[in-house]
Structure 1
Amino acid sequence: MSTIPSTLLGMTIAPGATDREKLAVTAKQFEALFVRQMLAEARKAHFGGEPIFGGQALDTFNRMQDEHFADVTADSGVLGLARIIEEQMARFLPAKKEA
């Protein structure tokens, strides 16, 4: 069973943020989580042979490396998944009131 890594919590929602800002942060968090899951599954693939180096320390390093890569990828917007999610979900936000 997997838990949400603490680095995801680094993408925090500012107090008083608008619904759209909250949605943008949440979409980035989802993208980071999605990328982490993809990397974790890719690491499970074995392409023959046994690794020369290994063990718990290397596993921990790889997990931390994947978490950082996922956070940077989501924050940069290079994949665009968060933007697409935000645009699609924004349709369900209440309409802005004219001042």
Structure 2
Amino acid sequence: MQVTTTTSATGPVPGLSDKAALQKVAQQFEAVFLRQMIGAMRSASLAEGISDSSATQQFQDMADARTADAMAGKGAMGIAALLIQQFGDRVKDAPAAPDAPNAAARYRDSAA
């Protein structure tokens, strides 16, 4: 993959030279967001459990990361679709939207 800076009427996007790179970065951003959200939900527990240990915590963190990656891969939250819609015109061969659920369209319709 060739990484360059592209320009458009709205300005340059450093590091994004094609639609595949944009899709990959948008999906990775969604995964990071979901990891943070799942971690925050897990840390909201009010009491310590009987099986709480550093090993259990480590395995829960790994399971949470896998869950977040799987959710992002399916476009569960639609964050990647919104990012692609927002920045797609700044990248060569920009896609209209990924094949994930049409979260961007739902967001647009609900905002109206």
Aligned to 1:58: 56
Q: Quote the residue 1:19 is aligned against.
A: 18
Alignment gaps of 5+ in structure 2? 4-16, 95-112
Give structure 1 stretches of 5+ with no counterpart.
Answer: 1-14
Which residue number corresponds to residue 32 of structure 2?
33
Q: Is the 8 A contact 2:19 2:93 kept in 1?
A: no
| Shift in Å, 1:95 | 7.0
1:90 aligns with 2:88: yes
Residue of structure 1 equivalent to 2:73: 75
Partner Cα distance (2:24, 2:34) in 1: 15
- The change in CA–CA distance for 1:24 and 1:52 in structure 2 (over 3 A counts) is same
Please report how far the alpha carbon of residue 86 of structure 1 lies from its aligned counterpart in structure 2 after TM superposition: 0.9
CA deviation vs aligned residue, 1:39-80 (integer Å, no higher than 9, x gap): 111111123x32111111100110000000010000011221
How many residues align? The count is: 81
Q: TM-score, normalised by structure 2?
A: 0.64
TM-score norm. by structure 1 comes to 0.72
SS in 1 for 2:50: coil
